[in-house]
Amino acid sequence: MCIIFFKFDPRPVSKNAYRLILAANRDEFYSRPSKLADFWGNNNEILSGLDMEEGKEGGTWLGISTRGKLAALTNYLQPQLDWQARGRGSCQTRPSRTRAGSTCSPC
């Protein structure tokens, strides 16, 4: 199960307090290849990990843009998996790259 916890405090009482605390896990498939969080090549606006599974590479499960847009994805269990289906991780990259508050259509 994937879980995301966050606490957002826009006006922390202490100057040393964090405005955002975020914790997430990614445990759908431990053996799925991925890259550690980093800015995307020549794109210095998006920071995230990247899925590297063949045929589904380039998606992400958690990312943030330098403009403050945050995208997160959790999994859900299906009785039968379609191994040919497009990965949902690519949905995360589109809203992070847009300026407007767009959303991703279902994959």
**Residue 21 CA neighbour count, 13 Å, CB half:** 7
| Residue 7 reports pLDDT greater than 90 | yes
* Token code pair at residue 49: 């990990």
- pTM attached to this predicted model: 0.63
Report the pLDDT averaged over residues 42-70: 87
CA distances (Å), origin 100, targets 15, 40, 69, 95: 31, 20, 10, 8
- Nearest partner of 72 among 29, 20, 26, 10, judged by Cα: 26
Contacts of 51 (CB under 8 A, 6+ apart): 32, 33, 34, 57, 58, 59, 60, 61, 87, 89
Mean pLDDT of the residues in the chain: 78
At residue 92's C-alpha, the angle toward residues 90 and 98, to 5°, is: 110
Give the lowest-confidence range in 4-13, 32-41, 77-86: 77-86
**pLDDT score, position 56:** 76
* Token code pair at residue 72: 């997160």
> 89 by DSSP, 3-state: which?
helix
> 7 by DSSP, 3-state: which?
strand
